[in-house]
Amino acid sequence: MTEHPDPAEIEAARTGESTPEVDAHLADCAQCRALRDELATLADHLAAPPAPPVPPAVEEAILWNARKEALRVRRTATQRDRRPTRRLAAWAVAAGIALALGVGGLLRLAERTDGRFAASDVNRDGVVDILDAYALALHVEHGQGRGADLNTDGRVDGADVDLAARAAVELTRS
């Protein structure tokens, strides 16, 4: 670098934000080093003074609000955690009902079904049933086990769970 760097670049160098080119120039240029030292002195002059103390009433109001907002965040997280649990519980109940009904015809071998139902055998136990919907719900809500993009929309989500459940129900009725 033959020309002097912009003063903004030299100021950046003061705090180690410069480029290798500016650093190399500074190493060779006493004039620019002097400017950098001037700027360092300026920064020392302008060092922030202590802030005035915050009145206790203001401080207490802000801290009270902090605690209130923290509680709101915890409640939000709790509600969020509960939702999938409720959904999973619903799937578990559905599975229980299906099994309690003694639907012997429910459990069909996956290889006896067409390709769509084979894909619905999410838990790979050789049969397509409501437990596949439950397994898929576990994957969607908690990332457990394997997922299956049954509706081929590029996402594994609740719509796939519904599809798995419908597939199981269709088998039950057939």
Residues binding other proteins (CB under 8 A): 6-9, 11-12, 15, 17, 35, 38-39, 41-52, 54-55, 58, 61-63, 65-67, 69-77
- Which residue, 8 or 30, has its beta carbon nearer to other proteins? 8
Instruction: Report d(CA 103, CA 172) in Å as an integer.
Output: 7
| Minimal distance, residue 98 CB to other proteins, in Å | 37
- Which residue, 35 or 138, has its beta carbon nearer to other proteins? 35
What does residue 128 show for φ and ψ, rounded to 5 degrees?
-105, 115
- Which residue, 74 or 116, has its beta carbon nearer to other proteins? 74
Instruction: Report d(CA 159, CA 149) in Å as an integer.
Output: 9
- Which residue, 71 or 93, has its beta carbon nearer to other proteins? 71
Instruction: Report d(CA 114, CA 131) in Å as an integer.
Output: 19
Q: How many CB atoms lie within 10 A of CB 171?
A: 20
| Minimal distance, residue 19 CB to other proteins, in Å | 12
| Minimal distance, residue 149 CB to other proteins, in Å | 27
| Minimal distance, residue 3 CB to other proteins, in Å | 14
